[in-house]
Homo-oligomer: A and B are copies of this chain.
Amino acid sequence: MLEKTPETTVNDTAHPFDRATQVTAVGGRWRGTASEDYFAFVGPFGGATAATMLRAIMVQPECAGDPLSVTVNLCAPVARGTFDLTVRLIKATRSTQHWMVELLQDDGVAAFMTAVFAVRRPSWSHQPATMPEAPPFDEAKPLPDSGIAAWVRQYQFRFVEGAPGYGNTPHDVPASAYSRMWLSDTTPRRIDFLSLLSMSDTFFARIFHVRGTIVPIGTVSMTTVFHADAADLAADDTTMVLGAADANIFTRASATRPASCGARAGVCSRPPRRWFISRPENRLSG
């Protein structure tokens, strides 16, 4: 359980991600700020919001174990400025904890998270999943700064397959939804639970790829399952992950998209090609 408790205060020289996801104790609650550095179209990038909420759990003194499964529901756009977070330990057993965080702004709950933490124990393990093929990070070409939204500039996207090429009109025939890319903070930062959670929301909406154009869309609910524990992440000591995203059902007013991140192959001191996270997604358009 190394590094399970992130710092609660950061200074000006801190990494932009740590500044953006900082929480401070205020009157029995926790306060965060919708970071301009990670702003999207109508609110802060959902990944940064989710990471802020997860940090609010991990700074609790009684927090034990590592995150296993996190569901964040983004109910309404988070407005510029500060927000308050309430943190509740719903249930603790000998080996698991169930947490809930609510993000409050003037007009009520704008987002909430439920999270299962567990003290992982040695057990049988087995991983038929293989890491997708990819050239090394340095050999993949960075996506030029698209300038679309502030948060996009906080990440380096190095596509290996399925790079975005969005136009003004939709394709006549739906294209593939599959993408594979290296992903890193623009200013490299060691991968931890907070950045993995944020990265799990960085995959451009699959509908953009399939339709070939940007449509109004927002993440409504996102579940991320963690396969690595803190010791794994510390041992891997990496700043980049290989991500793959796909989708196979786009239905009325919603699209579901599985996506996953794998560790960079060949870097880990532990057995490489470990999968860090996987998740499905439910995005609502409109």
Q: Enumerate chain A interface residues (CB-CB to B < 8 A).
A: 68-69, 71, 73, 75-76, 90-91, 93, 95-96, 98, 100, 102, 108-110, 112, 114, 116, 118, 120-129, 174, 177, 207, 210-211, 220-221, 223, 225, 227-229, 247-254, 256, 258, 275, 278-280, 282, 284-286
Cβ-closest 7 pairs across A and B: A129-B248, A75-B91, A126-B250, A223-B223, A69-B221, A71-B71, A69-B282
* Given A125-B251, A127-B250, also A98-B112 (CB < 8 A): yes
Please report the C-alpha to C-alpha distance between residue A252 and residue B223 in the assembled complex, in whole angstroms: 19
Do B227 and A251 touch (CB < 8 A)? yes
Which of B93, B116, B228 is within 8 Å of A221, CB to CB?
A: B116
* Given A249-B129, A250-B126, also A282-B174 (CB < 8 A): no
Nearest residue (CB) in B for A71 is: B71
Give the Cβ gap from A54 to chain B, nearest Cβ, in Å.
15
Do A91 and B109 touch (CB < 8 A)? yes
- Could you say which residues of chain B place their CB within 8 Å of the CB of A96? 75, 220, 284
Which of B69, B121, B280 is within 8 Å of A286, CB to CB?
A: B121
Do B280 and A223 touch (CB < 8 A)? yes
Using A68-B220, A91-B110 as known contacts, list a sample of 13 further A-B pairs with CB atoms less than 8 Å apart, ordered by residue number in A.
A75-B90, A75-B91, A76-B91, A90-B102, A90-B112, A118-B220, A123-B285, A124-B250, A127-B249, A129-B248, A227-B256, A258-B280, A280-B280
* Given A258-B258, A280-B280, A282-B225, also A125-B91 (CB < 8 A): no
Give the Cβ gap from A107 to chain B, nearest Cβ, in Å.
9
Please report the C-alpha to C-alpha distance between residue A100 and residue B116 in the assembled complex, in whole angstroms: 16
Please report the C-alpha to C-alpha distance between residue A253 and residue B285 in the assembled complex, in whole angstroms: 36
